[in-house]
Amino acid sequence: MLDLKHYVSHLPAKQAEVIMMHFNKNFKSLSTAAWYFKNIKAEDITWMRNMLNTPTLQDLHTLSDFLKSQEMSFEEKKELVLNTLEKDSPLLAFLEPKGTRSVTVICPKCKGYGANTGRGRQERGWIPKQGLSKAVICQHRTSCGFAGDFIAAYAEEYKLSYGKALNVLADELNIDFTANEVHVGEHKKAPIKHNLVPKVVVEKEINYMSFNPNKPYIEIDFHSYLNKYETMTELQQFKMVATAIYKYSLTTNQQLKIQYYKSNGISARKQPTLIEKVKMIDSKLGCLSKADIAPLVKHLENLFPLEDLIKFGVINDATNKKPFTFKQSVEEALVVIPNFDLYTNMCSGLKYRKTILKSWTDKQGNKVIDKNKEPEFSYGRIANPLPYHLTREALLDKSITFRFFEGQKDLHSMPSRVGVCDIAIPGVNGITVEMMGLFKGRYVELYFDQDKAGQEGAYKLKELLKKAGAFVNIITWNINLGGDVNEVLQNDNIEKINFN
């Protein structure tokens, strides 16, 4: 029971005596006592009017405010719970935390399926700051918008308010928010059992893509359609912008692109079996050197409205430190990798491969290197680019086998093979679950990195492709040959994994 005498001792002695005589109830905590005195009305104390030192209604409300001020604050309660609740706590098992330094979790709101994806594509969220932060953020690519601390994640999972989740977690963790309050006699908080039901996300039925062989292929004369730009749909306008960037990148000096691939061992002179892949690099990939960027921006501004270039993420807006400049940083050059439609020659998106990665020194004096090696130019709300080098010819030929590579550098490192179409996806998340319907009834081989992360990704993709109706085989090799396909090539071992 709350020691009310301790808390009214700051009042005049006679007034405190009256309160203790007539209002000393069995209050369990400061919060219950504060609520009681705050809700006393004038008619509740009229019987006291003939007493000496009668406390007024205002006196009792002031006492309520004082009692409230002695409670642990909401922020203090949050801090106490978050300091006690670790990412690997059984209470957070629904997040399925994986990893140590870089912790990934299942988003409690969308269960990893994202806002724009269907059943089967479990993109994981993450805990930032190498797992030290007590927060969960849904993965950005198909984010459902969830971002909150562990308490918010718990509230989302069990359909609770934040305040209720805070109190439930305190009970589960044996945290007593009244531990610092003054009570009469022994004060022990009885354990509370919470029978909570985890949130169930109803998985959406997947609307798998399919290839229509009867739909005609249209070769669009890009320049002849520029005067119709204003009447186009937003998707068509984005494709016009993406195609314009790609076409421009084919007109520039390609030497830095060629130099980049040669430096990674991709050379027909050194490895004659790569002749077809080198031809693909020469004809299909563009190049934008640092010196090309300003002319490119001027070229695009002559073709398209400035507001559209900002909207589609080509250039920075007026609030940026470098307004109306190219949004993607370039240290030396960008290799431009196109993602084509299946029914036209228009680009539905691009990849930029940086030939040199930016490096800098952080505030702690540590050297930091840009990890975003291959940024994407896409407009996910309306356009989902297909994997690089997925061709309609391969989809038309039912005998073709598809080889999936983790990125186009690995694809270009593997010699071409008759009866095979090589496509590049940057990891499991480089292809939407809907797109997997294109491979229904087809044979697929996965050439992923041989480390743990690569093989886990390959297995996950295999299961999703199988669910879509594909026949899938994960290709493995001795990691001593090389961790990924390009390493295998550079170690002169490529023929040892180019299975026949």
What ranges do the domains of the chain cover?
A: 4-69, 74-172, 216-385, 387-500
pLDDT of residue 454: 87
Contact 210, 438 (CB under 8 A): yes
Cβ neighbours of residue 384 closer than 8 Å, sequence gap 6 or more = 348, 349, 378, 432, 434, 435
pTM tops 0.75, yes or no: no
d(CA 139, CA 428): 13
Most confident of the following: 72-81, 168-177, 231-240: 231-240
Contact 257, 333 (CB under 8 A): yes
d(CA 68, CA 32): 9
pLDDT of residue 94: 85
Structure tokens at 245: 């960037």
When the pLDDT of each residue in the chain is averaged and rounded to a whole number, the result is: 85
Q: Considering only 95-99, 124-128, 190-194, which range has the smallest mean pLDDT?
A: 124-128
d(CA 47, CA 301): 82
d(CA 452, CA 460): 12
Q: Considering only 22-26, 210-214, 229-233, 403-407, which range has the smallest mean pLDDT?
A: 22-26
CATH of 74-172, one of 3.40.190.10, 1.10.3720.10, 3.30.200.20, 3.90.580.10: 3.90.580.10
Q: Which helix (H) or strand (E) is 35 found in, with range? A: helix 30-38
Residue type, 68: K
Q: Which helix (H) or strand (E) is 425 found in, with range? A: strand 420-425
Backbone angles phi, psi at 367, to 5 degrees: -80, 130
Residue type, 80: L
Say yes or no: domain 387-500 is CATH 3.40.1360.10: yes
- Report long-range pairs for 219-224 (Cβ below 8 Å, ≥24 apart): 219/344, 219/345, 220/344, 220/345, 220/346, 222/247, 222/346
pLDDT of residue 143: 56
d(CA 284, CA 232): 27
Contact 8, 53 (CB under 8 A): no
How big is the CA angle at 431 (ends 206 and 136), to the nearest 5 degrees?
85
Beta bridge partners of 289: 333
Residue 428 has pLDDT above 60, yes or no: no
Backbone angles phi, psi at 226, to 5 degrees: -60, -35
Cβ neighbours of residue 121 closer than 8 Å, sequence gap 6 or more = 113, 114, 142, 432, 433, 464
**Each residue of 335-370: b (16+ CB within 10 Å) or e?**
bbbbbbbbeeebbbbbbbbbbeeeeeeeeeeeeeee
Contact 339, 351 (CB under 8 A): yes
d(CA 180, CA 72): 8
Bridging pattern class, strands 420-425 and 401-406: parallel
Say yes or no: domain 216-385 is CATH 3.90.980.10: yes
Q: Considering only 379-383, 407-411, 412-416, 493-497, which range has the smallest mean pLDDT?
A: 379-383
pLDDT of residue 117: 44
Question: pLDDT tens digits, residue range 266-311?
Answer: 999 999 999 999 999 999 999 999 999 999 999 999 999 999 999 9
Contact 432, 392 (CB under 8 A): no
For the segment 166-192, the average pLDDT, to the nearest whole number, is 77
pLDDT of residue 115: 44
Task: Pick 450 or 201 by higher pLDDT.
Answer: 450
Q: What is the DSSP letter of 218?
A: B
114 three-class SS: coil
Nearest to 339 by CA among 308, 371, 278, 383: 383
Query: Percent of the chain at pLDDT above 90?
Result: 49
Burial environment of residue 27 by CB neighbours within 10 A (0 to 12, 13 to 18, 19 or more): buried
d(CA 304, CA 248): 14
The sign of the torsion formed by the CA atoms of 471, 477, 483, 486 equals negative
Only one residue has tokens 């030192």, namely 53
